[in-house]
DNA sequence: ACAATATGTCAATAACTGCTCACATATAGG
DNA sequence: CCTATATGTGAGCAGTTATTGACATATTGT
């Protein structure tokens, strides 16, 4: 039970604000920290900065420095640990899972936090 | 950012002990609470009981009462919220994700917490 | 060099989480 | 009925986390 990389990923994803940030960044190719922060009225800029740090340490986002800006982007294949875990637990219903993924991609659903509504 | 069902799932998965419990249950069809607890030397029985409660409230495991026993099993398609989130964020690399899932299933990898090693 | 901009970091605090211990509940067996 | 078994629940404490406000760092423009 060593606090390994997958720990960082799962606990990073545990926070709804961080998931929202991740979704937001995912909607654009890149986004500077300031614009990300601007999307969260109820949150101070420093809080968002902390969240970005956690997402970065978990390997979920990448940071590109450009002058005084820091542009954040979603790391392409970071979900490895998540997928690995899901596959280990849900071996049985794996086909369903895989097809669920493909269905979702085929449907081309509105990208952002559909998560909340779907599982109502 | 309402504390909805996906919140419950993600924060349930955030704890490494709970992921271990989920994996353990996944290895068997069903497992009584006591046997689950027995697998965790470093943890009291009540702690495991609390974890099971959280997993159950998140819809990740199901409970079947049989006499004085409570048998726990992995819920077949609970990963919906997780998949939904991943698909929304990782639209781009979706094919990779889907094939990763299928590869893993095809390989028939050792079920349990492979998570730690894979992303080293 | 100076001021403004973009962003991170640190210390302090409030809220949350996980763990244990003692107790409650329910069922089974004599 | 009474005791043992299987398990959950609640209070309390310790450790962790999220948020903020003040300060630090870096870069750009004048």
Two tokens at A86?
A: 């899901």
Computed from CA positions of residues B33, B38, B44, B47, in that sequence, does the dihedral angle turn out positive or negative? negative
Starting at the edge strand that comes first in sequence, how are the strands of the sheet with B61-66 ordered? B31-32, B69-74, B61-66
Task: Read off the pLDDT of each residue in A5-12 and give the average, rounded to a whole number.
Answer: 91
- Condensed to tens digits (0 to 9), the pLDDT of residues B48-95 reads 999 999 999 999 999 999 999 999 999 876 567 777 777 777 765 455
pLDDT value at residue A103? 57
Average pLDDT, chain A: 78
Average pLDDT over every residue of B83-112: 58
Q: Which residues contact B106 (CB under 8 A, 6 or more apart)?
A: none
Nearest CA-CA distance, residue B72 and chain A, Å: 14
Measured between beta carbons, the chain B residues lying within 8 angstroms of A2 are 116
pLDDT of residue B66: 96
Dihedral over Cα of B99, B91, B19, A72: its sign: positive
pLDDT of A37 reads 97
What Å value separates CA B67 and C1' D1? 20
- Using a 7 Å cut-off to protein CB atoms, list the covered nucleotides of chain D: 5-10, 17-22, 26-28
Instruction: Give per-residue pLDDT as tens, B3-31.
Output: 578 899 999 999 999 999 999 999 899 99
Residue A97, CB half-sphere, CA atoms under 13 Å: how many?
31
Tokens standing for B39?
A: 């697998």
Q: Which of A3, A6, A26, A111 should we substitute to test contact with B (largest number of B Cβ atoms within 10 Å)?
A: A6
Q: What is the C-alpha separation between A22 and A52, in angstroms, rounded?
A: 9
CATH topology of domain A1-120: Arc Repressor Mutant, subunit A (1.10.10)
The reply to whether residue A101 touches residue B83, judged by beta carbons under 8 angstroms, is yes
Domain segments of chain B: what residues? 1-120
Tens of pLDDT along A26-83? Answer: 889 999 999 999 999 999 999 999 999 999 999 999 999 999 999 999 987 656 777 7
Confidence class of residue A99 from pLDDT cuts 50, 70 and 90?
A: low
């Amino acid at each position: 039970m060593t606090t390994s990389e997958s720990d960082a990923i799962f606990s990073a994803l545990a926070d709804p604000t961080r998931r929202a940030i991740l979704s937001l960044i995912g909607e654009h190719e890149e986004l500077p920290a300031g614009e990300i922060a601007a999307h969260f009225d109820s949150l101070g800029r420093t809080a968002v900065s902390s969240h970005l740090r956690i997402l970065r340490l978990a390997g979920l986002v990448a940071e590109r420095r450009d002058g005084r800006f820091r542009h954040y982007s979603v790391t392409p294949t970071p979900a490895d640990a998540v997928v690995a875990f899901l596959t280990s637990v849900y071996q049985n219903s794996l086909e369903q899972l895989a097809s669920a993924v493909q269905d979702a991609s085929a449907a081309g659903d509105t990208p952002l936090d559909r998560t909340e509504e779907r599982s109502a």
